Structure 1
Amino acid sequence: MFSEKQTTVVQSISEDAIEEAELSFQFTKEEHSLSWWDAMRLHYPAIGWGLFMNLATILKGMDGGIVRSIVGLPVFKETYGYNHNGNYIIAAEWLSAFNYANNIGAIIGALCSGIAYDRFGPRWMTAGCCVLSIAFIFIQFFSHTPAQLFAGQLINGCIIAFYPICASAYVGEVTPLVLRGFAATMTNLAFSIGSLIASGILKGTETMDSRWSYKIPIATQWALPCIMLLLVAFCPDPPYWLCRKGRHEDAMASLRRLATPGVDVTKKLAHIRETLRLEKNYDGERPTYLDCFRGTNFRRLVICVMAYDMQAFTGNVFFLSYAVHFMELAGLDASDAFSMNIGLTALGLLGTCISWFLLSYVGRRSMYLFGCSVLAIVLFIIGIVDLVPRQTSTTWAQCGLMLVCTFVYDLSLGPFCYVLLAEVSSAKLRGLTIALSTVTCFVWSVVFAVVIPYAMNEDQGNWRGKIGFLFSGLSVLCTIYCFFCLPETKGRTFEELDILFERKVPSRKFKNSKVDIDVGGRRLE
């Protein structure tokens, strides 16, 4: 039985695997004893390549930032909207379509990405996506009707969905334990950087009285795929993926490239092989999407799905995707709304950077509890403020609270989500699990992208800030889920997590469980 005190979980290893098991155990002890700065000094090449893989994720952030913000440009409204009581507005159906096109495409892309990652690996997968991104951005750039722009966003959304999934899986596999959380947050940082770049570009073109005000932001998306395409051939493949393919010598070569010359990588290779051996014993031979729904992998899938879906449930579609539109509905003019949007994305970037320092001291579960509960309170206040008669002070108060939501989100759920995805998913099914989790999040994002304009728009539901009540209630439910069902994965190697999940340790007991290895009746200490 489990108590509130430390619980010991013992994993038995057969005699035929004794040598590799002992090397793996030695590696685990060294991983736990490695300090942050020593890990950075010895493994900075892994961090560097992880940052490189996330360059393409910046494009995902840029695309999302441009799509959700160009709808506030006056020339864009005149081109794709209609005159309503003397003002040009985007019809609610097209406003929602422009925001969910990217996510619908991403659902298809995410489903394909898990299979593509397992079959082709991150290098070929990234190279192919870069070529396709360059091609499909043309459709958006030369569009003249809402339908053409929608098609371009839909197809491009399918392609760029590969990038964050590939980056999350890659950094989780190449970085040492103490740096894993820091490296995993790079994905959210890339989103924030992309959004900030998009906000800055749009603020610069907002005053242009021509179609170039929205065509220039779209054109800037060509830069990153071109840079990635030139350099991706030099990127080392992740050793877990290589070992799954039986390419152990290539995995050793990759491990050497991902560490400094003084690091002995033989123990890590043994640890990777031992982790995959355990997963093979538990789960069978060939990884498929169906494997994610079997045995302990289903529990891991549900945790990953909820970790990702809570981003949508706590309102990120509202205070990120519809920020400019909401601020204009609240009473700000276009110029002030775009200025506030720059502040919003800058705060998101700041929150992600602060989260780096929290990762070494605060658990993943604790930060999710903090993020969900605080967002529930702030979103409720946004709804309350909207009940007050509209004044200049209430307008700025609501917009300021949107900034608070963004900061809290990018301090907690935003970056910590990608850490959990990398840690909770099994090594063998990592790409597939992250892909399925991404699909469910995009499905909910599409739902909210459709609902929010009809709820907020003055020619429809005219809820405006009262929609904060909806997301506040959902955030409360997310807080309850985190308390009972979200495990603490901080400080755990992939092998230890495999054992904890296989032994069905309750989520609330993960933090206080100790894992020991028994080899042929001999306890490794």
Structure 2
Amino acid sequence: MSHSGSSPSAETHVHSSCQHNNNSEQQEQSRMAFSETQIKDAIHREQNMSIPTAFRLYSKAISWSIVLSTAVIMEGYDLLLIFSFFAFEPWTRKYGKLQPDGTYALSAAWQSGLNNGASVGEIIGLFINGFVAERFGYRKTMIGALFLTIVFIFIPFFAPTVEILQVGLILMGIPWGIFQILPVSYASEVCPVSLRGHLTAYINLCWVIGQLISSGVLRSLLHRTDQWSYRIPYALQWMWPVPLIVAIAFAPESPWWHIRRGNNDGAKAALHSLTARHANDAVDLDSAVEVMVYTNKLEEKATRDASILDCFKCHNLRRTEICCFTSITSIISGTTLMGNSTYFFEQAGMDPTNAFDLTMAQYAIGIVGIAFAWLIMTRYGRRSQYISGLFLQFIFLIGIGITGVIDPGNKNVSWATGALLLAFSLVYQSSVGPLCYSIISEMSSVRLRAQTTSLAWNIYNIFKIINGVLTPYMINPTAWNWQAKAGFFWGGLCLLSFVWAFFRLPETKGRTYAELDILFERRR
């Protein structure tokens, strides 16, 4: 009797429980359907947003992105000092050795060591960034790196020997590695699709501006022979960090960083600080945050508890390949001749004054090239611009190699070499140079961005170390003494880069991160 009396109650409870579960499932499906609708609307809005509208609505995001990117000007300035000092007599007299012809020079081994010391530090900095930026945020990580820069500058400024100078460059390379990647990630996350390529490419402009300033400072001190001729350029590095620290302290955090940490309210507040709020067509914050959450969950399914190993799993392997090979291409396609241009021009037969003047012209032309790149990327895709640039670079590098065969000591030939390197610089800065940053930031998934970009730029620095070993031996008269004939070597590697890009590089222009996730999952 008791058993039959309890059955209706049990059945009612089971029925009520099933009905509750069905309602929960329906609510979840409804929420997911709403999310899918939102993501489709967001893709449509972003893809059809004009550049003037994007500038108007995201003017604050653009401004903060430019502020963080300014640290790259400092890095470009610092790194060019290393290469340019090899052709700077007061510096070589301090750290070099007396040669049989009465001049002072640093050996090819030490030139390689100083080049690579900074690269080793950058590798350490990139690994640190991958963990620290995700835990503490982009803003705090950037401020910490700037504080380290202030401290580490003391070492090269007071370095009594080349060995101490080497230690200083390794330590300074640590914050440089953070500057190498963090502003790119920030720019790619705070700006809409229509501006993503322009602001990530702006990073390359910052590099060139820093290098131009560095060349100008050394050119102005060329006829000074005391110790301050090389201490002043080191001291000028202190002018960057303090104002940047003050400015970045007020910068909003990336809304994507908040989303990855499950803080939707923080993402909404950050987005509010990054966009115009008094326009009729102001960004819908709730909709934008919903789209970010959807995109993050889409990636979370494939990369739960994301680690660097996930970069090599499933469809992420293709994304990692593209990011890594793009970074490698930017360093093996002949750019090392630009970085060592002052020393390269001197070994090609120019006097120091003309060598520094031509180096300044090279970086001034580079600025024009980047402006040209912005115009091209507005109308054409990343892929066609990148591949065309590699092909033209190959032609100019072979031309440089030919000038090394034709009467190497002739001054007219040395000027021809300089002209070809200027043309190479124009092409590089209007294609491969700025697009490298755009492609790497776009190809990496949102959840694995810190890991993928750190890996890509570490690969870049490894190849930069290899370049740093080879290039001084190619150019240095006390070593292989290839001079302009080095163009043949880099031209061959540039051709291989062109072949890879032609067959493996997809188009990313105008695609949102959610759309790229779906396309890679479908292996397109």
Partner in structure 2 of residue 51 of structure 1: 66
User: Of the two, which has the highest radius of gyration?
Assistant: 2
User: Is 1:485 the equivalent of 2:501?
Assistant: no
Partner in structure 2 of residue 503 of structure 1: 522
Partner in structure 2 of residue 401 of structure 1: 420
Partner in structure 2 of residue 459 of structure 1: 478
Q: Which of 233, 247, 271 is residue 231 of structure 1 equivalent to? A: 247
- Structure 1 residue ranges, 4+ long, deviating more than 3 angstroms after superposition: 13-16
The 8 Å contact of residues 177 and 491 in structure 1, kept in 2 or not, is answered as yes
Q: Which of 213, 234, 252 is residue 218 of structure 1 equivalent to? A: 234
State the alpha-carbon separation in 2 of the partners of residues 424 and 369 from structure 1: 17
Partner in structure 2 of residue 512 of structure 1: none
Partner in structure 2 of residue 272 of structure 1: 292
User: Is 1:475 the equivalent of 2:494?
Assistant: yes
Partner in structure 2 of residue 158 of structure 1: 174
Partner in structure 2 of residue 386 of structure 1: 404
The 8 Å contact of residues 153 and 172 in structure 2, kept in 1 or not, is answered as yes
Structure 1 window deviating more from structure 2 (301-310 vs 352-361): it is 352-361
Shift of 1:24: 2.1
The 8 Å contact of residues 77 and 89 in structure 1, kept in 2 or not, is answered as yes
Cα deviation code 1:326-378 (max 9, x no counterpart): 11101111111111111111111111121111111121111111111111111
The 8 Å contact of residues 168 and 421 in structure 1, kept in 2 or not, is answered as no
- Between the two proteins, the alignment pairs up a number of residues equal to 491
State the alpha-carbon separation in 1 of the partners of residues 332 and 499 from structure 2: 13
Cα deviation code 1:31-63 (max 9, x no counterpart): 111111111111111111110110111111111
The 8 Å contact of residues 25 and 271 in structure 1, kept in 2 or not, is answered as no
Call closer, same or farther: CA 1:16–1:265 in 2, change over 3 Å: closer
Structure 1 counterpart of 2:520, one-letter code:
F
The 8 Å contact of residues 99 and 321 in structure 1, kept in 2 or not, is answered as no
Unaligned runs of 5+ in 1: 1-12, 506-525
Shift of 1:215: 0.9
Shift of 1:14: 5.3
The 8 Å contact of residues 324 and 341 in structure 1, kept in 2 or not, is answered as yes
Structure 1 window deviating more from structure 2 (111-120 vs 138-147): it is 111-120
Q: Which of 135, 141, 144 is residue 125 of structure 1 equivalent to? A: 141
Structure 1 window deviating more from structure 2 (99-108 vs 471-480): it is 99-108
State the alpha-carbon separation in 1 of the partners of residues 380 and 38 from structure 2: 30
The 8 Å contact of residues 77 and 213 in structure 2, kept in 1 or not, is answered as yes
Partner in structure 1 of residue 347 of structure 2: 329
Partner in structure 2 of residue 288 of structure 1: 307
Report the TM-score, using the length of structure 2 for normalisation: 0.92
SS at match of 2:104: strand
Shift of 1:281: 1.4
Q: Which of 92, 96, 100 is residue 81 of structure 1 equivalent to? A: 96
Q: Which of 134, 139, 143 is residue 150 of structure 2 equivalent to? A: 134
User: Is 1:350 the equivalent of 2:368?
Assistant: yes
State the alpha-carbon separation in 1 of the partners of residues 212 and 308 from structure 2: 35
RMSD in angstroms over aligned alpha carbons?
1.2
Shift of 1:164: 2.5
Q: Which of 431, 443, 446 is residue 412 of structure 1 equivalent to? A: 431
Shift of 1:20: 2.0
Structure 1 counterpart of 2:300, one-letter code:
K
SS at match of 2:148: helix
Structure 2 counterpart of 1:282, one-letter code:
A
SS at match of 2:98: strand
Q: Which of 90, 94, 105 is residue 110 of structure 2 equivalent to? A: 94
State the alpha-carbon separation in 2 of the partners of residues 146 and 344 from structure 1: 29
State the alpha-carbon separation in 2 of the partners of residues 76 and 51 from structure 1: 34
Partner in structure 1 of residue 391 of structure 2: 373
Structure 2 counterpart of 1:431, one-letter code:
A
Structure 2 counterpart of 1:468, one-letter code:
G
State the alpha-carbon separation in 2 of the partners of residues 24 and 419 from structure 1: 22
User: Is 1:441 the equivalent of 2:460?
Assistant: yes
Shift of 1:15: 4.5
State the alpha-carbon separation in 1 of the partners of residues 401 and 107 from structure 2: 24
Structure 2 counterpart of 1:100, one-letter code:
N
User: Is 1:315 the equivalent of 2:330?
Assistant: no
SS at match of 1:129: helix
